[in-house]
Amino acid sequence: MTEVQIPKGQKNRWLIAIMGTLLQLCLGTVYAWSFFQKPLMTTYGWSNTQVAWVFSLAICFLGLAAAWGGINLPKYGPKKLAMLGGALFGAGYLIGAFALSIKSLPLLYLGYGVIGGTGLGLGYVTPVATAAKWFPDKKGFITGMVVMGFGFGALLMSKIFAPMLIEMTSGNMVLVFAYLGAIFLVLTLIVASFLENPPAGYTVPMKSNASEAAKKAAAPSAHDLVGGTFSQYVFNGRFFVMWIIFFCNIGAGIAIIGFQSPMLQDLLKLDDPSLDVKTLASMGATLIAVTSIFNGVGRFFWGGMSDKIGRVNVFRIMLVTQLICFIALIFVKSPIIFSILFCYILLCYGGGFGTMPSFVTTVFGSKMMAVVYGAILTAWSMGGIVGPQVVAFIKDTAGSKAASYSFVFAVILMVIGIVFSLMASDKHFSINKSKN
């Protein structure tokens, strides 16, 4: 095997992977939005639906920007796109702070939702695709590691940044958003500046005693070099089935991510009316932190499982087991059982993101990975709109039955996802058939 040595001055590939993970960690703080749900409603008198639109828009534009970023990544390169993403993400918080200072909900939508969400999308897709190019020998491991950072972002926000800043500012949400904007603007620009593609013809330098299997895994294959046009891959049945499965797994999970803290607080209040607001908020933040760990671990766990039992089988298992969890949540009254079920659902939610990059590579080849993966992330956009908005509407209109009806909605999504997963198989979803 002909090897291309890394030119002098070329960045270490592990440094690039770590910086990509840190970038994802910053961006993943969006998953802690439920931490701000009740404070914004209380301070500004906005409804669940109104505040939820901020999160929905951020996720919507995340997916749309990721699709655009995946297509244009070869043109602009990872550093430029990632730095632009970081700048827009930080700017989203700063504009959001100004919006809160003048009590303008539309400007908050524009700032945090549209501009910040666009930054999220550009910053999300870039390190995933870039790290995969540097690690042809560890694709599943490295993409799982990078996207795991996004899953852990909520832990960073709910247990470190948000409580610290709220304490420092005496609950002044304007200052909280302003500080977060400044922090993330600096951090994301620094880590994004390290991202770059490997040199043309790059292969992993192998040790002289490396096994033939290891050398084969690190070498580019004909499968990886298959190309094509955007329309060939996106406008076909396999892409559609994968998109629907991904959407259902995302839609249900993201519907509850934005409301997990308020839902738990409502249940705790029913269980013990003596609990004060501060205690309830602390318990809600703890749930966000714990579920974020499961969200992150799920990306590693299910991604690894998919290497052993197949991508489609993993999605089937996740959808079926989540269906059972959501049915149980309709009847659960115990805050502890409620929290345990939420943790498992977030494990599967993260698993979808950990499995899909390798699923796309398996079906479409690594050459088209960034383009197709970016396009398939539009399922995240749609899930970010449909899931949180349906649950917000239910919470604003259904009264005491809101939680149960929300879980019924999730059950419906799981059933649809299971049906579509039965249309797929790891045997027939292959690179040779992906253009049909």
The pLDDT > 90 percentage for the chain reads: 44
Looking at residue 162, its pLDDT comes to: 86
* pLDDT greater than 70 at residue 301: yes
Instruction: Encode pLDDT of 319-363 as tens digits.
Output: 999 999 999 999 988 899 999 999 999 999 999 998 898 888 788
Looking at residue 119, its pLDDT comes to: 97
In a domain, 207, yes or no: no
Structural domain count of the chain: 1
In a domain, 311, yes or no: yes
* pLDDT greater than 70 at residue 36: yes
Instruction: Encode pLDDT of 389-409 as tens digits.
Output: 898 899 888 887 888 899 999
In a domain, 426, yes or no: no
In a domain, 271, yes or no: yes
* pLDDT greater than 60 at residue 432: no
Q: Which two tokens stand for residue 405?
A: 């009806």
Looking at residue 319, its pLDDT comes to: 98
In a domain, 344, yes or no: yes
* pLDDT greater than 50 at residue 303: yes
| Closest by CA position to 35, among listed 194, 177, 130, 145 | 177
In a domain, 255, yes or no: yes
Q: Which amino acid is at 416?
A: I
Looking at residue 235, its pLDDT comes to: 72
CATH of the domain at 238: 1.20.1250.20
Looking at residue 243, its pLDDT comes to: 95
Contact 335, 271 (CB under 8 A): yes
Structural domain range at position 182:
13-198+214-421
Half-sphere exposure (CA, 13 Å, Cβ side) for 345? 31
Looking at residue 219, its pLDDT comes to: 53
**CA 17, CA 21: separation in Å to the nearest integer?**
6
Least confident of 258-262, 291-295, 298-302: 258-262
* pLDDT greater than 60 at residue 208: no
The pLDDT > 70 percentage for the chain reads: 87
Contact 261, 285 (CB under 8 A): yes
Which pLDDT band holds residue 129 (cuts at 50, 70, 90)? confident
* pLDDT greater than 50 at residue 183: yes
In a domain, 204, yes or no: no
* pLDDT greater than 50 at residue 10: yes
In a domain, 192, yes or no: yes
Which pLDDT band holds residue 431 (cuts at 50, 70, 90)? very low
